[in-house]
Structure 1
C-alpha cells in the first residue's frame, strides 16, 4: 500500500474559499453533498508529483482503496466502514464488507449467493419497472446511486438497469461507474455532483467504447481516474495511450492506495492499480 500525494499549490486556496462560500449558504439551506467544483481550466496547471511513502501525516483523514479485480474495489473509511463494489461470486475481497453494491449487466458484477454477514446489500437495478434508488449513511460513509441504461432486452436498451454509486468518505467523493454503456448526459452530471475520484471501466467494448469513456471522464472533470474492467495489458494500454493526451499516467506496483482530500492532483491523473 502507498500514500498518494500531489503538489496542489493554488488548489488548497480554492478549497478554503469554496468551504467559506458553502458555509455561508448553509445558513439558509442544507449543505449539498459532493457539490461541484470549478473547471480545471480555472486552476493553475501544476504537474502532479506522486509521493510514494509509508503512511500519512498524523491526524489526516484518509480512505484506503484496494483494487480486488475486474470491477470490484474494497474501500475502507477512517471509521472502519468497509465497502465492496460490484460484489460478485468470483472476485471478492478477503473480508466480508459491511456494504456491497452490485450491477446486473453480467453475472460477474453481482452475487447469487452473497455473504450473509453483509449488512447492506445494494442491487443497482430496480424492481417492477422502478429504478433502484439508494441513499444511505453508515457511520462516516454516505452513499447514493445514479442510474444509467444498459444494452440488451427486446428493445435493445434496458432503462435504468445500471447504477453508478457515489461514496462520500474522508471528504472525498468517489464514483464507481458500474457497467457503463453510454456517455453521461448533463442530467447525469448534475445528479452526480462533484466527483474527486472515478473508478472507470476501460475495456472499450463490453462497456463504453474508449472514445466515449474519455468524453465522459472529461465531462466529469475528475482529478483522479483509476481504471478497472480492463482484462489485460493490451486493452489497458489502448486506453492509457489515448488518455495520455489529456492526463498524466502513474503506474503503481501495489493494488492499494491511501487517498486524502489534500492528495488530489491539480493536473488530471490516471492511477493504474495492478489487477485485471
Structure 2
C-alpha cells in the first residue's frame, strides 16, 4: 500500500509533457488608428513620429510622398523608400513604370482589372472571391504599411457586401486614405477602423457613389488636412467644392502631382483639385 501511494505521488508531481502550440502570426501595428478606437466621436490627434518608429527609417525621415493623379480614381503614389502604388488600378491609367503595388475595388471594371501585369508584385483586391465575406489586408512593404476597411456597394443593381475597400497607406507618419467607390455614409465602426487620415482621395461624381451632401459629411468627419477629389462627372467638382465654407482652403492646381510630408501638411484643411480632376 505504501509503495502504491509513493508511486502515485511521483506521478502527480511529475512535470506535464510540453504540447506544442501554434502561435498566431504577429499583426502589424497601425499608427493611424486611435488607441480608443471604439469610442464614438473620438478625435484623432496629429501624430509626431520618432526616428525609431516602425516603417520610418531615419535616413528618409520627413521626405515627401509624391501623389500623381492619373485619371478616374487612379493615383500613383511614390514613397521615399521607393514603393510605387497605383490605386483602383484598371490597366487603363498607367503610371510611367509598372507599379510595385496595385489596389482595386469591385465596383466596376473602371476600378479593377482581372489581368494585371505579372510584374506587379502585390495585387491587393478589395473584395473577397467568396460571396458574403470581406477581405482583410495588412501588408508591410519597405517603408509602407497598407491596410483596408471594407464597405458595401451596389454593383450592377445588386448589393455587394464588402465589395469596396477603403485602402489606407501609412508612410513616414502620414496616413493616406483612398475611399474607392464609396456608396454609403460611414458609421462609427468604420471611422474607428480607419483612424486618423492626413490625406484623403474622394470620389466627387455626386451620384454614382454618393450625393455631394453625404460625401462632404464624410470628408468633414475624417478631418484630413489634404483632400484630393477624383472620380468626377462633368462639372461636379464645383458642386462638391460649394459644400465647404471658409474653414477649408481650395487650390486649383495646374499640376497633376502633389508632394506631401507630415511637416508640410497645411494647418487648414485644403482641397487640392489636381490637373485632370476638374
Q: State TM-score, norm by structure 2.
A: 0.77
What are the within-5 Å matches in structure 2 for residues 69-218 of structure 1? 69-129=71-131, 130-152=133-155, 156-218=158-220
What is the root-mean-square deviation in Å for CA atoms of aligned residues? 2.2
Structure 1 residue 35 displacement after superposition: 3.5
Cα distance in structure 2, aligned partners of 1:113 and 1:220: 33
Q: Which runs of 4+ in 1 moved over 6 A?
A: none
Superposition deviation, residue 100 in structure 1:
0.3
Which residue does the alignment assign to 2:33? 35
1:70/1:231 contact within 8 Å kept:
no
Q: CA deviation at 1:93?
A: 1.4
Q: Distance in 1 between matches of 2:248 and 2:105?
A: 28
Residue 244 of structure 1 deviates from its aligned partner by 3.9
Deviation at 1:136, TM superposition (A): 0.1
Task: Give 3-state SS (helix, strand or coil) of 2:228's partner.
Answer: strand
State the partner residue of 2:13. Answer: none
| Contact map agreement 2:69 2:275 (CA 8 A) in 1 | yes
Partner of 1:230: 232
Hey, what's the Cα distance between the residues in 2 that align with 1:254 and 1:150?
A: 32
- Aligned to 1:100, the other structure's residue is in SS state strand
Structure 1: distance between partners of 2:30 and 2:143:
16
Shift of 1:248: 1.0
Alpha-carbon distance in structure 1 between the residues aligned to 2:226 and 2:78: 18
Structure 1 or 2, whichever has the larger Rg, is 2
- SS at 1:75 equivalent: strand
Contact 1:89 1:112 (8 Å CA) reproduced: no
Give 1:109 shift: 0.5
Residue of structure 2 in register with 1:267 after alignment: 268
| Number of the residue aligned with 1:243 | 244
Change (3 A) 1:115 1:169: same
Give the conservation status (yes or no) of the 8 Å contact 1:72–1:91. yes
2:33/2:193 contact within 8 Å kept: no
Structure 1 SS opposite 2:259: strand
**Structure 1 equivalent of residue 39 of structure 2:** none
Query: Take 1:123 and 1:60, find their aligned partners in 2: how far apart are those partners?
Result: 29
Query: Alignment partner of 1:93: what SS?
Result: coil
1:141-160 Cα deviation digits (max 9, x unpaired): 10100000001367x42111
State the aligned residue count. 230
Q: With structure 1 as the length reference, what TM-score do the two structures score?
A: 0.78
Query: Structure 2: which 5+ residue stretches go unaligned?
Result: 1-27, 36-41, 47-59
Given that 2:31 and 2:173 are in contact with CA atoms closer than 8 Å, whether structure 1 keeps it comes out as no
Query: For 1:225-262, what per-residue CA distance to the aligned partner results, in whole angstroms no more than 9, with x for missing partners?
Result: 11001134x11111112224541101111001111101
- Consecutive unaligned residues of structure 1, counting only runs of 5 or more, are 1-29, 44-57
